[in-house]
Structure 1
């Protein structure tokens, strides 16, 4: 078999190329292409660019930079500002005042009334009520006030008769004489 040279022609079965268009018939790009994107320095010279191209959105005044726009103080704050507005310290409450404040709390009174009526309290309300009652109890113990002692004292006074009181008074007088005799 004889050797045949390769050609660039595809032959009959190859895809056909479009016929060549003459130079005169070709549509040439005339003028400038449409510009895409912002011009250089557009971020800093926004007012200048808007003056040159008024057809663009003139209402857009948004700062394209990212991050916080909050101004940063470059100098350290002086201590005179702090001393200009001193905080007024309230005097510390005594234990009696704390106890009165706790007992006069409207929320505490409302929750106690609800308990007396037989209503159920939510878990948060019950927890708060227990804490307040524990604080009141601790303050009463600290002050030496006890509900039990007050309840027992009237019971004893009712049981005491006039004769018992008189006997106690006379024995007190005898104890006083014994004490004076020692010294």
Structure 2
């Protein structure tokens, strides 16, 4: 046997237990991955797998709601709000009392030019007014002259057409 040198270290007495902080040789340390692995730029298999992951899209992504291409003004927003009326008489009264329509009609009577949107609003409102008047039986038609009044106007026209000099002898 070989000779052992003297040392101040105390040798092991009994069987040592493995402490919890000592790793077994079979367990390897798991390292943090920093960055992408080498060669991912040219690896097609990984890019194909990533495309499959994108199939499960978030349902909130994107909207199917149509978007107006023109900016709406305050007047247009108020015009788009539709008010439901209980009867045609209420709707007709609301149209007749509309201050915007009244000012636009006054401007048209004066001869001022109005915007295209305002003209469209006037046309739609007047068309609806006409429909409501027909529904309710309200007509502003000028009464057609009766046959008797036509005869009277014809007789008067004949009387005016008479030349007095024809009757003188």
TM band (smaller chain): 0.3 to 0.5
TM superposition score normalised by structure 2: 0.35
